[in-house]
Structure 1
Amino acid sequence: MLRRKLLLAVAAAAAALTALTAVILYNYKQEQTRPSPSEVNAWVTTGDQSSLLAPQEPFLFRDSADTEGETAQSGLPVIKVNPDQEYQTMDGFGASVTGSSAFLINQRMSNDQRNALVKDLFSPEGIRLSFIRHSVGASDFSVDADGNPASYTYDDTESGEDYGLERFSTAKDKDVTGLLQRIVDTNETVKVMGTPWTAPPWMKYGEQIHNGWYLNYAEPRVYAAYAQYLARYIQEYKALGIPIYALTVQNEPEFTTADYPSMSMGAEEQALFIGNYLGPELQRQGITSKIVAFDHNWDIAGSYTQTVLGDAKANAYTDGTAYHCYAGSPEVMSKVHEAHPEKEIYVTECSGGAWSEDFGDNLTWLMSKLIIGGPRNWAKSVLLWNLALDAEGGPTNGGCSNCRGVVTVDGQWQSGYSRNVEYYALGHASRFTDPGAVRIGSPQAGGIENVAYRNPDGSIVLIALNPGDEDRTFSVEWAERTFSFTLQARSAVTFKWQS
């Protein structure tokens, strides 16, 4: 009898152990299929400048199931980050190394100051800019070795033509190429885009000058020579260790002025030049640099881009179109994308200046229209104008007299420079979003503007802006996890977490 009771007890214990094991295994499997808690890092810039890309105390996601009632009851807007909803692949963020910027950094800073600035702008220890534009020849921000205004191309002649490009030389770009080489050494993955403001004067119709007019359409040899001129520029920069990733055909082609180097180029002419001359010439020489059309303001983009991209020959050689911020709104880029989804979109120029000095206003505009609004309307790059200017907004070459650089080179600072609002706006994207990142789904919610990316390493980046005049609290939802955050008025935040 005792033996029987003992056997029953052992059997009961075994059954209990089996049941307990089953429960443990079930719970384990549930935990394995549930997303693990992820740490969220955040950096904030406030309109009152109390925080400037300032890191916040890291925090964890919470289970959405645990907070669903709280969120619904509070009525908080929710940004639902969806990594399965993919858009464009990003090239990066940056600014222009103009002749003025290069002169100031090379000639008005000590070597230690210069190294520190380049490190701050282009290395992982700073804001890690990844895309640079520069002018092919002179622009409205070009100077000579003494800092005086200078207009030039790579093939200027005292008289007559030079169809063989025998006088071609990039020597006057010495400050620019020197700085670009330093930047490429600091960040070897940085992309460089070239943009001409004018062709050599001897190629132009009418007065043969740098400032204004247009190509001599009556002389077919001009188009062939100009295509060879641009190809020669790409090859010579490559020989200097500066690979040219992309070339826009003409800066602001619908505008010409006697005040600084410029040249008009109508849409039909640009299509002809790309399709019959520039594209075939680059292909003949084995040059793979991308050809980018337009490069002007949002408000006049429609008919121009349609004419170029609607031309079969030009379309075959054209990678995409580029835009400036000075008129219109970024939504026009989405319309171009709808018409030509296979073509890339770039924001290539936008400048702040003394016309708007309030930090909070500028931060809000830059984040809304460019850092968030640009990529949300398919831009794969966002570039500002001058990388550096002095305290007077110069030195200039007949253009904007009150523009502001990403940084200001000023001897009153021990570092040799000060950071402007443009630095912080760019930094909210460039420091955390890697080249090759893919924009992913993140619908706008409750007045909080945002854009999200998945980096090549799988990490998620969410950039958000509160453009309003009052603090706002919102929730972020991702993979059955959520967190809430309060953002001050006219302030921006970047969140980053591992996927």
Structure 2
Amino acid sequence: MIEGWVTRGAETLLQPLQPAAFSGSSPQDALPTIEVDASRTFQPIEGFGFALTGGSAYLLAGLAAADRADLLQELFGSTDESVGLSCLRLSIGASDLGRTDYSYWDLPPGTADPDLARFDLAAGDPEVVPVLQQILRINPTVKIIASPWSAPTWMKSNGSFVAGSLKPEYYSAYARYFVKYVEAMRGHGIRVSAVTPQNEPHNPKNEPSMVMTATEQAEFIKGYLGPELRKAAPETEILCWDHNCDEPDYPLAVLDDAGARAYIAGVAWHLYSGSAEAMSKVRAHHPAQKMYFTEQWISAQDDFMGALRWHTKNVVIGTLRNWSRTVLEWNLASDPAYALHTPRGAVGALGGVTIGATIKRNAGYYLMAHSARFIRPGSVRVHSSEVDRLPNVACLTPDSRMVMVVMNDADGARRFRVQHRGASATLALGTGDVATLRWNAATAVA
């Protein structure tokens, strides 16, 4: 028996589908069929979530204590009523969705600080750590990936938080900055699972931002960041790239450097351009490398179902079918005016929730409710056949249930079958419907 939940629009959110029974009889019609084969396994799933930006933390911290506790439980809890978020992305220093530009190691001109005595984890966005600690009390296993938008300005070629590059003479100091960050977070009970050397290294227009070529990234990793982290924080992995799917040659160049590759666990990706197939291309060249999808925004101008459909098809289904172990959307929380951003930062970045006089649950929230709630960490992607206009992905969960995220990308309603273990069940989805299906993987009953 297949149980399911469908979203058709703002008035039909995660509504139960009519259960569909499996039958072992041979169907006589020619309905499109999604075949599931649990014997063909792919990557493990490590988590779904958002970026906990400085702005997000500020808004969450501003809620009344009881309201904040309820919302965080709803987002990060493990019950069937919770969304089940299990992964977060943090900025090391400021991101573009915060109140100001800063790093954790800002120094007055001419000041020397070789021991990082002026390192300050509370700089700029002091709400991040306490909000994160509250989240970890709800779910202590949340995976954390951290990325800098910029090095401290005194290390950069242009002395600015925007654009510029890291001066070679500061590679060693910058590597120690990463180590100090990981150690400081550890001191607050927060384990950083992975870091990337630079968010969007080919985007000099954001604020903050910093350019880092593939050659520079490989040199920084193999000569400085890799050795320092392995010595001081071996539990923290390094992911390269952290930018769009239209430039697979960048991570390939970094990974082709054997010295850098020795310290790299995987590749981080965004999808503002290109296609998710780039992840499979890089993995084909370096099969030991893990793929992680780390960012995609939803604009305030996007309509609810248009955003939910695009992100379901391209971010959840598309990246998981191309080896990603995580699905991370951009901002966890926004305010109604989208005011929490740097002067040149993202304008109109819609959060998973909007926090104002009331709390509004947006397309990103329901994207995660259709996926994170059902595909828990430790699940494994399994084979499901590609069917025209029925994009789908299937995962086997740790409790031996099969979960499929599927949508109807056709212009009209569609009936189709799901086939598993020699039995099949017939379902129907309306135009543009986004659905999550679940059944017992061992017996083909819910």
TM-score, structure 1 length as denominator?
0.85
Indicate yes or no: 2:255 matched with 1:255. Answer: no
> Paired residue for 1:193, among 139, 145, 162?
145
Q: Which residue of 1 aligns with 2:188?
A: 240
Give the counterpart letter for 2:223 in structure 1: N
Distance across 1 between alignment mates of 2:409 and 2:189 = 42
Give me the CA root mean square deviation: 1.3
Which of the numbers 23, 30, 44 marks the counterpart of 2:6?
A: 44
Query: Residue 157 in 1 paired to residue 99 in 2?
Result: no
- 2:410 corresponds, among 468, 474, 477, to 468
The answer to whether residue 94 in structure 2 is matched with residue 138 in structure 1 is yes
Report if the CA contact (8 A) 2:51-2:89 is conserved.
yes
Identical aligned pairs, as a percentage?
38
Question: What amino acid sits opposite 2:306 in the alignment?
Answer: D
Cα-to-partner distance string for 1:347-368 (whole Å, 9 max, x where unaligned):
1010011332x22221210111
Output the CA distance in 2 between the equivalents of 1:200 and 1:165: 12
Whether 1:100 and 2:55 are equivalent positions in the alignment is yes
AA of the residue aligned to 1:142:
G
Q: Which residue of 240, 264, 268 maps to 1:293? A: 240
Asked whether the 8 Å contact 1:476–1:484 carries over to 2, the reply is yes
Residue 21 of structure 2 corresponds to which residue in structure 1? 60
1:170 maps to 121
Kindly indicate which of the two structures has a greater share of residues assigned to helix: 1
**CA distance in 2: counterparts of 1:492 and 1:286, whole angstroms:** 41
| Cα offsets for 1:132-155 (capped at 9, x unmatched) | 001001011112xxxxxx111111
Which residue in 2 is equivalent to 1:14?
Answer: none
Name the structure 1 match of 2:164.
Answer: 213
Residue 58 of structure 1 and its aligned partner are, at CA, apart by 3.5
Per the alignment, in what secondary structure is the counterpart of residue 89 of structure 2?
strand
Unaligned runs of 5+ in 2: 442-446
- In structure 2, distance between residues paired with 1:81 and 1:179: 40
Whether the 8 Å CA contact 2:239–2:264 is kept in 1: the answer is yes
Maintained 8 Å contact 1:470/1:489 = yes
Using the alignment, how far apart are the partners of 2:270 and 2:286 within structure 1? Answer: 19
SS of the equivalent of 2:164 reads strand
Q: Distance in 1 between matches of 2:233 and 2:164?
A: 31
Query: What TM-score do you get using the length of structure 2 for normalisation?
Result: 0.95
Amino acid at match of 1:194: A
Please name the residue that 1:128 is paired with.
Answer: 84
CA distance in 2 between partners of 1:483 and 1:355 (Å) = 38
The amino acid of 1:101's aligned partner reads S
Pick closer, same or farther for the CA change 1:420–1:159 going to 2, 3 Å.
same
CA distance in 1, matches of 2:269, 2:324: 9
SS of 1:274's equivalent in the other structure is: helix
- Aligned partner of 2:36 in structure 1 is 81
Please report how far the alpha carbon of residue 57 of structure 1 lies from its aligned counterpart in structure 2 after TM superposition. 4.2
Query: What is the deviation of 1:62?
Result: 1.7
CA distance, structure 2, for counterparts of residue 197 and residue 363 of structure 1: 27
Select which of 306, 317, 323 maps to 1:361.
Answer: 306
1:167-199 Cα distance to aligned partner (Å, 9 max, x none): 111022420111111111111111011110111
The answer for the alignment partner of 1:20 in structure 2 is none
| Conservation of the 8 A alpha-carbon contact between 2:20 and 2:427 | no
Letter in 2 for 1:226: Y
In structure 1, how many angstroms separate the alpha carbons of the residues matched to 2:77 and 2:17?
21
Given candidates 276, 288, 298, the residue that maps to 1:342 is 288
Which residue in the other structure is 1:25 paired with?
Answer: none
Q: Partners in 2 of 1:434 and 1:231 — Cα distance?
A: 30
Using the alignment, how far apart are the partners of 1:229 and 1:439 within structure 2? Answer: 36
Aligned counterpart, 1:317:
263
